Chain A
Amino acid sequence: MQYFIQQLINGLTLGSIYGLIAIGYTMVYGIIGMINFAHGDIFMVGAFAALIVFLILGAIFYSVPVVIALLIMMIVSMLLVSLYNWVIEKTAYRPLRGSFRLAPLITAIGMSIALSNFVQVTQGPRNKPIPPMISQVYNIYGISISLKQIVIVLVTAILLVIFWYVVNKTALGRAQRACEQDQKMAALLGINVDRTISITFIIGAALAAVAGTLFLMYYGVVVFSDGFVPGVKAFTAAVLGGIGSIPGAVIGGLAIGFIESIWSAYFSIDYKDVAAFSILAIVLIFLPSGILGRPEVEKV
């Protein structure tokens, strides 16, 4: 039982990271119907930005309180990655809006290849390990919970509350939901559709940047190719939750996190990615609209 709860906690941590990335996929899919394949690499760039900020802080100051260091890493990484996604959207996706469906997917794949290789070229192909930032571990009834895990879950929860507020209570969120339903009508009613889409990309990137920072803090290592697998898993999460639905993305992320940690604990750690990919296939085949998604009506 303790072992099981332990796995649930590990899964919750993983799932929080996947959920944060999945929101970016689901929002972009909801608003322009495109799989932003480069989103996983955006997450990886976020982790690298956090890594570099961490090293700068270490080089300049003798010691920085961990909370402040983490906060600075997150904020810088969010700003940088938002800028990346904004530029990418403007140069690679916007010119193709209204083109045939495959076109933006292809540019997104190209962007994904370009981003990961850009980081490889500029930062080198090796693993980048950092010393552990937080090492406290609490032991409650034989279940060990590390402070890292608590931080991850807490940060995710706070971000989700802020994010929920933005989407549901502000003019920006209303504009976003309007664009999602009908871009032409939204434009007629005076919503700047292009700007709204840009902001969607920026928000998605910022959340991915936080996920990247947390990923770096949790695993203590990052490498240029780290974008692909978490990216696909987060996409799986978005699909599992019902693509286009934001609470669905979080639920899907948690579900994928749980499945992955329980699978690695009880079955085979070698095949944990196979499990994640199989879930993706099974969900799409048998439950294409996901847990919280609206079923798509086929129109002629």
Chain B
Amino acid sequence: MAVAESSKLASGASNISTGLREAFYAGLIAFFMFVLLIGLKTDQNIHNELIIVPRWGLLAVVVLLTALGRFLQVVYLTPFLAAQKITDTKTGMRPTSVALRFFSKRNLVIALVIGAVLLLAGGTLEAAVGPYWSVYLGMLRGAAIIYVLAWVIFYFRNFIGAHSYSLGFAVLVLYPVAMVLLFGFQGSLKWVDNFGIQILIYVMLAWGLNIVVGLAGLLDLGYVAFYAVGAYSYALLGTHFGWSFWILLPAAGAMAAMWGIILGFPVLRLRGDYLAIVTLAFGEIIRLVLINWREVTNGAAGVSGVPKVSFFGLMSFNVSDPNYIAKVLEIPQSGAYYKIFLYYLILALCILTAFVTIRLRSMPVGRAWEALREDEIACRSLGINTTTTKLTAFATGAMFGGFAGSFFAARQGFVSPESFIFLESAIILAIVVLGGMGSLGGIAVASAVMIGGTEILREMQFLKMIFGQDFTPELYRMLLFGVAMVIVMVWKPRGFVGSREPTAFLKERKSVSGEFTKEGHG
């Protein structure tokens, strides 16, 4: 017993000394990495010359935080994660999971008390502590509310897991209603538009790309090109000829699908990374053409005044029209009706995408896609026509991209090449991969987290109270997005949910000699 104690102590002490050493190295590396780029800022003086402004305080904070982070990682996180995997020899059970301990009943009571106190006596407390500290009170209140919600979700996790699709569907349908009830018509605009519609557009794009990348295994880095084709099809045909959205939606889809075939045809022979780079090149070419073909696309200035979607031709959302929805239904005017209508429209488009994907997966062409993803050579030797298989994948994926694009044009009322940069393709691909390629639910969760998370940064104006008035949280959006991509990928390379199992495969698995296959199972 004593021996065990002392060895534990010794390992603890060596742990701390290793931790200190590692923290020192991390701090040193961070210092050298950031001394030029964070420690010094290039700025323009009144003569428009570049000057250097030192920021040693910020540099010191960043270096110390890096060192501290490394120390905590080495001393606490790594041993803790290792201990989580060790089974107790007596009981044969693993230690209680972090989540179970975190979401205990005791913590719930604490959170409920804090939340209730802050909600009920918030006004007097805030007046008592002044504006600076009331920011922290607000954060605490938000944390308590989020904790309680997370606790409820965690408590009912089995139920949610079993009914995830119907529950998710119900939440999505009821979301605008809930927002209107909570914030009123005007207040709900932001939540329905910036969060709801924005996330659903990415869900649809990611599901469309999922057909190409997740099902057929063709890495496409230029998916945004089809999105652009759809958006410009609707914007140009809608503004020049005044055609309705309901005619142009399928037309835009068809146009994008055609481009999918045109761009897919030359790259049939390519695979993997090369395919990725060629599709990237195509995406950039389309964007550059949109910028430079000024006679048609109006160049970088973009197309404005894209017509709104009508309520299936029955009612319109333009205030000046005689059949404006508020006049017809005799309700007060509000911009929120259009946004809510758009929300349900994109939801319907998403459901269409999911439905088509799910049905296609169990049809011959979907099976062929999955076979192609698993092994192209085997696929070819079994008589699957890889040309048509690849082209249908490109065309189907592009078609959904086109639908999403024309929706995007209708929602913005304005399109410009700025919206179709490579970064968009990268974001969509990141969502597909992080969500677990091929898994629709995982992709939806990933896009809610990634897009919603970066959108929420815009709302964090209270951080200004802490970091000073010139702190703009939006600036950090893409930085955090990039870092999150790396961290999630390193932590869970197979994505959040990670289902890459083919829909159909031989149930019987037999061990074969390693000479025949790479994995040793056939």
Q: Please state if B288 and A271 are interface contacts (CB–CB under 8 Å).
A: yes
Which residue of chain B is the closest to A280 with respect to CB atoms? B281
Q: Please state if B37 and A99 are interface contacts (CB–CB under 8 Å).
A: no
Beyond A80-B36, A122-B38, is A59–B52 a contact (Cβ under 8 Å)? yes
The SS class assigned to the B binding surface is helix
Complex interface residues of chain A between 71 and 104 (CB less than 8 A to chain B): 76, 80, 83-84, 87, 91-92, 95-96, 99-103
Which residue of chain B is the closest to A277 with respect to CB atoms? B281
Beyond A59-B51, A113-B426, A117-B479, is A270–B292 a contact (Cβ under 8 Å)? yes
Cα–Cα distance between A103 and B437 once the two chains are bound (Å): 11
Cα–Cα distance between A72 and B493 once the two chains are bound (Å): 41
Q: Please state if A109 and B479 are interface contacts (CB–CB under 8 Å).
A: no
B266: chain A residues at CB < 8 Å are 281, 285
Q: Please state if B485 and A281 are interface contacts (CB–CB under 8 Å).
A: no
**Which of B267, B282, B483: most chain A Cβ within 10 A?**
B483
A239: chain B residues at CB < 8 Å are 274, 277
Chain A: minimal CB distance from B62 (Å): 10
Q: Please state if B377 and A235 are interface contacts (CB–CB under 8 Å).
A: no
Beyond A128-B42, A273-B284, is A49–B32 a contact (Cβ under 8 Å)? no
Cα–Cα distance between A87 and B280 once the two chains are bound (Å): 27
A113: chain B residues at CB < 8 Å are 423, 426, 478-479, 481-482, 485
B40 within 8 A of A: yes
Chain A: minimal CB distance from B212 (Å): 13
A262: chain B residues at CB < 8 Å are none
Cα–Cα distance between A52 and B41 once the two chains are bound (Å): 8
A112: chain B residues at CB < 8 Å are 426, 482
Beyond A102-B219, A122-B38, A274-B285, is A83–B273 a contact (Cβ under 8 Å)? no
Complex interface residues of chain A between 99 and 158 (CB less than 8 A to chain B): 99-103, 105-107, 109-115, 117-124, 126, 128-131
Chain A: minimal CB distance from B222 (Å): 10
Q: Please state if B281 and A103 are interface contacts (CB–CB under 8 Å).
A: no
Complex interface residues of chain A between 142 and 188 (CB less than 8 A to chain B): none
The SS class assigned to the A binding surface is helix
B51: chain A residues at CB < 8 Å are 55, 59
Q: Please state if B483 and A106 are interface contacts (CB–CB under 8 Å).
A: no
Quick one: which of A45, A52, A102, A120 contacts B42, CB cutoff 8 A? Answer: A52
B430 within 8 A of A: yes
B384 within 8 A of A: no
Complex interface residues of chain B between 402 and 458 (CB less than 8 A to chain A): 422-423, 426, 429-430, 433-434
B288: chain A residues at CB < 8 Å are 271, 273-274, 277
Q: Please state if B277 and A52 are interface contacts (CB–CB under 8 Å).
A: no
Cα–Cα distance between A123 and B44 once the two chains are bound (Å): 11
The interface bits of chain B over 283-296 (1 if a CB of A lies within 8 angstroms of the residue's CB, else 0) are 01100110110000
Cα–Cα distance between A271 and B49 once the two chains are bound (Å): 32
Which residue of chain A is the closest to B494 with respect to CB atoms? A100
The interface bits of chain B over 261-284 (1 if a CB of A lies within 8 angstroms of the residue's CB, else 0) are 000001101101110111011101
B426: chain A residues at CB < 8 Å are 109, 112-113
A232 within 8 A of B: yes
**Which of B270, B434, B485: most chain A Cβ within 10 A?**
B485
A288 within 8 A of B: yes
B331 within 8 A of A: no
A111: chain B residues at CB < 8 Å are 482, 486
Beyond A239-B277, A285-B266, is A107–B485 a contact (Cβ under 8 Å)? yes
Size category of the A interface is 35 or more
A59: chain B residues at CB < 8 Å are 51-52
B430: chain A residues at CB < 8 Å are 106, 109-110
Cα–Cα distance between A100 and B80 once the two chains are bound (Å): 27
Cα–Cα distance between A42 and B51 once the two chains are bound (Å): 23
Q: Please state if B52 and A80 are interface contacts (CB–CB under 8 Å).
A: no
A55: chain B residues at CB < 8 Å are 40, 42, 50-52
Complex interface residues of chain A between 261 and 300 (CB less than 8 A to chain B): 268, 270-271, 273-274, 277-278, 280-281, 284-285, 288, 298, 300
A119: chain B residues at CB < 8 Å are 37
B236 within 8 A of A: no
Beyond A55-B52, A84-B33, is A280–B277 a contact (Cβ under 8 Å)? yes
Cα–Cα distance between A121 and B480 once the two chains are bound (Å): 11
B29 within 8 A of A: yes
B489: chain A residues at CB < 8 Å are 92, 96, 103, 106-107, 110
Cα–Cα distance between A83 and B485 once the two chains are bound (Å): 21
Cα–Cα distance between A101 and B518 once the two chains are bound (Å): 15
Cα–Cα distance between A111 and B488 once the two chains are bound (Å): 12
A115: chain B residues at CB < 8 Å are 482
Q: A48-B37, A53-B36, A100-B493 are in contact. List 15 more A-B contacts (CB 8 A).
A: A49-B36, A55-B42, A80-B36, A107-B490, A109-B430, A109-B485, A110-B485, A111-B482, A113-B485, A118-B479, A119-B37, A270-B291, A273-B284, A284-B274, A284-B278
List chain A positions with a Cβ less than 8 A from chain B: 34-35, 45, 48-49, 51-53, 55-56, 59, 76, 80, 83-84, 87, 91-92, 95-96, 99-103, 105-107, 109-115, 117-124, 126, 128-131, 228, 232, 235-236, 239, 268, 270-271, 273-274, 277-278, 280-281, 284-285, 288, 298, 300
**Which 8 pairs of residues, A with B, have the shortest CB-CB distance?**
A110-B485, A114-B482, A113-B482, A117-B479, A277-B281, A110-B486, A270-B292, A117-B478
Identify 26 residue pairs between A and B in the complex whose beta-carbon atoms are under 8 Å apart, listed by A's number. A35-B276, A52-B42, A83-B32, A91-B490, A96-B490, A101-B272, A106-B430, A110-B481, A110-B482, A110-B483, A111-B486, A113-B426, A113-B479, A114-B479, A114-B483, A114-B486, A119-B37, A121-B475, A235-B277, A236-B281, A277-B284, A278-B281, A284-B278, A285-B266, A288-B270, A300-B377
